[in-house]
Amino acid sequence: MSVAEPDVIDGAGIGSQGELRLLITDHLPWDGFEDFEYEHLELLQNKINAYLGYIESRQFEQNFPERHFERFVIEVAFQHEPTAACTKFLAVARETARALNTTIERS
């Protein structure tokens, strides 16, 4: 499970305030060959979009049938320090996610 697998939820649990928390594990480095940062951002975008689709379609009800969630958190756990471009991307993604009562955090 990783950022490179958009159709897999890396981790899910219930937070201390009753919110559904979804984890994205990102082990990929940000440097390397010239286009790596762009490709990495594209992978992260695809993963976040898949998680937002999971929330919007209420697929989580299959995993948590007894729970009613009103708030959601997508936590991105980076192994390597994100670039400035990634930080900007996450700010834009947070605005988009807000419409689904979802916050995006990084750890």
Q: Tell me what the mean pLDDT of segment 39-58 comes to.
A: 97
> What band does 21 get if pLDDT is binned at 50, 70 and 90?
very high
pTM for this model (two decimals): 0.93
> What band does 34 get if pLDDT is binned at 50, 70 and 90?
low
For residues 54 and 7, the answer to whether their CB atoms sit within 8 Å is no
pLDDT greater than 90 at residue 1 = no
Task: Give Cα 104 distance to the centre of its chain.
Answer: 7
Domain boundaries, the chain: 11-106
